Amino acid sequence: MKPGGKLAIIDFPPHPEYGKVKGVPKDREDHGIRQKILIDELSKAGFHLDKVADDWPTSDYCILFVKK
């Protein structure tokens, strides 16, 4: 992605009732991902956090990033 490109990720917090996912790091073995992990990993990959939209009627969220 070119610098200035935008990325939106829509996901939800971990839901252990859906069952475990095999072959992934321990902090991500439930379906979904915590916002902090997502933000940390994409920041390390060269993205800048732009906005978090977590005021949806469900526990879903959308995080917007901009490529550095």
* Tens digit of each residue's pLDDT (9 = 90 or more) over 35-64: 999 999 999 999 999 999 988 888 899 999
How many whole angstroms separate alpha carbon 55 and alpha carbon 29?
A: 25
How confident is the model at residue 56, as a pLDDT? 84
21 neighbors 28 (Cβ within 8 angstroms): yes
Cα dist. 59→13, 14, 34, 47, 65 in Å? 7, 10, 11, 24, 20
Question: How confident is the prediction for the chain on average, in pLDDT?
Answer: 90
67 neighbors 50 (Cβ within 8 angstroms): no
Categorize the per-residue pLDDT at 24 as very low, low, confident or very high, splitting at 50, 70 and 90: confident
